[in-house]
Each structure stands twice: as structure tokens, then as C-alpha cells.
Chain A
């Protein structure tokens, strides 16, 4: 079955760090760009970061640039988002999403995971 499964969310204090993961199955992971999209409680969708299929190109929203790092391990079929210097406004459900091709730009998301909740609070 083609699916994405996020993990690693939880409660973290402001200024803290957290790494969320997304395990992919049912497709050739390395052939597809991947992204992280977040949704604050009761709010809309916000694109956070994207990475090409090879991992050689990465992109970030201004709101997380310099604090978050996207990476992937194609041997483990896993996508990561390392989040540092977390702020209250980073509180959200974090979804991983697959693109239909290997390039991360000019793309849409044809498969989404269920999401993992990250709460930043003291």
C-alpha cells in the first residue's frame, strides 16, 4: 500500500528542538520530491519546506529558514524535519507530502501522511 506515516511529534518548550520523521512505503521513495506542510490548530495550510528526490536541492519558507532543516535517507525511505529554536507559532500538525516527480519546485502534492502534532509551550 502506498502511504506516508509521520512520527516524532510532541510537546517541546520554546527554544527547544525536535525532529519529526516520515516513513514512506509502497513506492520508489528516491524518485519523488517530498515536502513538509503544516497546519496550526483551526487554521489553514502552510508550506514549510521541500527536498528533491536526490536530496540535492532544498527549499524553505522564510518563517523557518535558518531554524529548520529538511533531509532524507533514501536507503531508509524516510524524510526528516529537524526543528530548532522552536517558537509558539510553530505549533501545528506537520504533514509530509509527496510530489509526482523528482523536482521539488512547480509541483503539487499527490499523497499526504496523517500528520504529527508539534506543540511548543512552556
Chain B
């Protein structure tokens, strides 16, 4: 199975900050990397697919980069509604695996 490792596990940031979350795959996954946002008690929401493609309706302050083994999710200017947990997911091979999550908290 492909292991996905996110860093950091949590971070504290202020509104307006630029935030970067990293996801590393245990082998090359091309651009088969997706990012989700989850708020407490809610279902995950797709933000980015294919490493860098913004899902329809997602604000442009979210961006992603890849390919290969190292990927990043960047929030250019953190907004109050962005405080949540973020997960990466590889869809290169089955079983599809998720990172352990990064919790973004208010500083």
C-alpha cells in the first residue's frame, strides 16, 4: 500500500496568513493526489484534485502543487472559514489511502 504522510499534524495561524501543508507519498503517484477539507461533525469536501486542479466553487486562495512524491496545499490568505482539518488522498492505486490529516487552528 502507498503510505501518505502529512506535515505538520497541526498548526496555528492567524487570519490573513499564508499556510502551506505538505503531503509525501511513499512512492511516485504522478498527479493522482487530492485534497479535502473537513470541519467538525461534517463530511469532507473536495478542494483540489489531480494535484493542482481547483474543484468548482472552491475559492482561488486554495492551490496545490505536485507531481511525484511531494505535494503541497497552500492557502494564500487564511480566512475564518478555513479553520478545519485537511487530508490528502492518493488515487494512484488501490487501496486509495489518506494522509493522517492536518488540523489548522486559530492562533
Contact = CB atoms under 8 A, between A and B. Distances in A.
Interface of A: 35, 37, 44-47, 50, 59, 61-62, 95, 100, 105-110, 112-115
Q: Is the interface of A mostly helix, strand, loop or mixed?
A: loop
A62 B71 CA distance: 26
18 contacts: A37-B44, A44-B100, A45-B89, A45-B101, A47-B89, A47-B95, A47-B98, A50-B94, A62-B95, A95-B44, A100-B49, A105-B93, A108-B50, A108-B89, A109-B46, A112-B44, A112-B45, A114-B43
A47 B90 CA distance: 11
Contact of A47 (B32, B43, B96): B96
The 4 lowest CB-CB distance pairs between A and B, nearest first, are: A112-B43, A108-B34, A45-B98, A47-B96
A45 B98 CA distance: 6
A88 to B, nearest CB: 21
A106 B94 CA distance: 8
Interface residues of B, number: 25
A45 B94 contact: no
Contacts, number: 57
A95 B89 CA distance: 15
B68 to A, nearest CB: 16
B97 A47 contact: yes
Interface in B50-105: 50, 55, 87, 89, 91-101
Contact of B43 (A50, A59, A107, A115): A115
B43 A110 contact: no
Given A44-B87, A44-B100, A45-B89, A108 B94 contact: no
